[in-house]
Amino acid sequence: MKDMYILAIESSCDETSCAIVKNGSVDISTVILSQIDIHTNFGGVVPEIASRQHLKNITMVIEECLNKAKMTMDEIDAIAVTYGPGLIGSLLVGVEAAKMLSSIYNKPLIPVHHIAGHIYANNLNKRMEFPLIALVVSGGHTELIYMKDEYTFEKIGGTLDDAVGESYDKVARVIGVGYPGGPILDKMAKVGIHEYNLPIPLNDESYNFSFSGLKSAVINLAHNYEQKGIKINKDNLAKSFQDVVVEVITKKTLKALKDKNVKRLIIAGGVAANSGIREGLKKICEENAIECSYPDLKYCTDNATMIGAAGYYAYKKGIVADSTLNAVSSTNLT
């Protein structure tokens, strides 16, 4: 079969990214322009600024990606793009760029759900096999997805309020350790000890999560200590918080694997970089003879390579769009 080269675009949040991916698994060229330094000044992503930055950079990022691959648009077989979910203004920049390329060069246009992209980042490492359970943990998502087969998704659980990455970022902001909070708190947790008692949120038999109560508990604890004039040990607070997150995530993931009788777990999304979550899941997988895989760290956070990987399988399933494709800020993965 002829090789298929997909040019993919991702712009759902604060990374402008373009990649060329061969046959859904080989990264030919990836360019990621992060806006993190700009948003750090505001302690979080400012949607209006994000979309303006995408607009400013998208053409340059696409050109650089083609140059890096030493390829021309004639050698590209299809265009894949993240159509949602995400920040609407940001998504629109990527979708319009992809539509334009598809129309000018007469290439098929493949719409990709951002979460499908995070999941298929695993395919860049090793071909995914099915059935499997995917745990998607990012700044915008905390979901357990059952995949019976290639490019079929059944959401079996998810967060009822904040996403896990979001709660990391908010806790970090409140205790004043910087942005983005995930990697910072993770580093602090490595040197801290479990000193503070925090509640395990939604500690029930469902596959759902709730992180807003945990975040509030941390914030209340920090304020109480402050009022009493007691200095909080921030490393220990980070460790106590991370331990609770790891406990609830590993417990629910293991339950899903057992109930569905599945022996494969893949982890996806920015929070998959978290060392505590990695260790916790590795342990339960070893204890239960479950094969566990993660994307390379560079493919955990937002990138277009994962969109090119997912786009290949979407295309094989006949998922294509036309010039009416629109960006959607909130959409389920089905």
Binding residues vs ligand KG4 (CB under 6 A): 13, 138-140, 165, 168-169, 180-183, 186, 269-271, 273-274, 301-302
- 274 is an interface residue for Zn ion by CB under 5 A: no
Binding mask 45-64 for Zn ion (x = CB under 5 A): --------------------
Find the part of the chain contacting Zn ion (CB under 5 A) among 29-37, 89-97, 225-233, 298-306. 298-306
Residue 274's binding partner out of Zn ion, ligand KG4, none, with CB under 5 to 8 Å set by partner kind: ligand KG4
Q: How far is the CB of 151 from ligand KG4 (least distance, A)?
A: 20
CB atoms within 10 A of CB 127: 9
- 302 is an interface residue for Zn ion by CB under 5 A: yes
The answer for 82, left when phi > 0, alpha when psi is -120 to 50, beta otherwise, is beta
- 243 is an interface residue for Zn ion by CB under 5 A: no
Residue 311's binding partner out of ligand KG4, Zn ion, none, with CB under 5 to 8 Å set by partner kind: none
3-state SS assignment for residue 266: strand
Residue 295's binding partner out of Zn ion, ligand KG4, none, with CB under 5 to 8 Å set by partner kind: none
Q: How far is the CB of 103 from ligand KG4 (least distance, A)?
A: 28
Bond prior to 47 in cis (omega within 30° of 0): no
* CA gap 249, 143 in Å, rounded: 10
Q: What angle do CA 317, 323, 324 make, to 5 degrees?
A: 90
Bond prior to 131 in cis (omega within 30° of 0): yes
Residue 85's binding partner out of Zn ion, ligand KG4, none, with CB under 5 to 8 Å set by partner kind: none
Residue 169's binding partner out of Zn ion, ligand KG4, none, with CB under 5 to 8 Å set by partner kind: ligand KG4
CA nearest 134: which of 26, 126, 142? 142
* CA gap 321, 48 in Å, rounded: 27
By beta-carbon proximity to Zn ion, the closer residue of 138 and 250 is 138
CA nearest 314: which of 142, 131, 123, 136? 123
Q: How far is the CB of 180 from ligand KG4 (least distance, A)?
A: 4
> Which amino acid type is present at position 260?
K
Residue 17's binding partner out of Zn ion, ligand KG4, none, with CB under 5 to 8 Å set by partner kind: none
φ/ψ of residue 305, rounded to 5: -60, -45
Return residues touching Zn ion (CB under 5 A). Answer: 138, 302
